Amino acid sequence: MKSRFLDISAVALMLAAPCAAVDDRSFEIVRYDCLTDTTRHEITLFGNGTVRVRDGLIKHEWMGLAEMGPDELQGFVNRLSEEDLTQSASPEKGVEGNWVERCELRLQLPGKGLKTFRFGHYDPLGLTLSRVVRIALELGEKVQVVKDADALPADYVPEVGDVLKRVGDGARFRIVAFTSDKKGIEFQGIDVPLAMYIPKDQVRQQFTILVSKGW
């Protein structure tokens, strides 16, 4: 009986094919990329076992890398190959807005065609597609993204009037309002003339220091 698992050597064979001319260091097995108008969170697994995470403000993202050995890479390829996405499709659009992440999942397993799915952060996903997303997120957890040593308090809860320090440039922003569904936060720059919306669950990715609490 033919094994349902894909041998990782298939990756090398596919990449070695004359017509492909693709280096496994640049061949993307999985890419999970989520964007708002101002932020990005991307997880990519390359054919050589490298996992890359890019996270933060667009064009100013932090980047981290992790390396997996052949056995661990094989394990992730096997898990992904078990998920049958042939009947899966991008979900109907749900909540939208400048602050809501728009995600794209690209999956290209050895010997199979490229599959692409697009959805919003709050869109309901089918069971199989949600499992693939969870595998991508698990890959991302292998990467330690280098950020400021400071961190928000573990019990921090955002409130209107709070002033936070942004990752990277240290610019201060004040929380001025929440969106009507309470899932997004409006920030107004103190040091820079900029207003932006960020999903509530991404505050810790974008800010590291609580400068002052409340008005």
From 162, 149, 169, 167, select the one nearest 210 (Cα to Cα).
162
All residues at 6 or more sequence positions from 36 whose CB lies less than 8 Å from its CB, including other chains: 98, 99, 100, 101, 102, 197, 198, 199
The top-scoring range by mean pLDDT among 15-24, 48-57, 163-172 is 48-57
Residues 63-108 pLDDT 10s: 888 999 999 999 999 999 998 887 766 656 655 666 678 999 999 9
Tell how strand 50-57 and strand 102-107 pair up: unpaired
Model confidence at 44, in pLDDT bands (50, 70, 90)?
A: very high
DSSP strands (E only) in 47-152: 50-57, 62-67, 102-107, 115-120
Give, as one character, the DSSP assignment of residue 95.
Answer: S
Give, as one character, the DSSP assignment of residue 125.
Answer: P
Name beta bridge partners: 120. Answer: 102
All residues at 6 or more sequence positions from 212 whose CB lies less than 8 Å from its CB, including other chains: 162, 163
15, pLDDT greater than 80: no
Q: Please give the pLDDT value at position 191.
A: 87
State which amino acid sits at residue 191.
Answer: D
d(CA 95, CA 98) in angstroms, rounded, equals: 10
Percent of the chain with pLDDT over 90: 38
**36 near 197, Cβ under 8 Å?**
yes
Q: Please give the pLDDT value at position 16.
A: 47
d(CA 55, CA 25) in angstroms, rounded, equals: 20
Residues 114-148 pLDDT 10s: 999 999 877 888 889 999 999 999 999 888 754 44
d(CA 176, CA 6) in angstroms, rounded, equals: 51
Q: Please give the pLDDT value at position 89.
A: 62
Percent of the chain with pLDDT over 70: 80
For residues 5-9, give the mean pLDDT: 48
3, pLDDT greater than 60: no
Q: Please give the pLDDT value at position 105.
A: 95
For residues 33-57, give the mean pLDDT: 90
For residue 27 the two structure tokens come to 């061949």
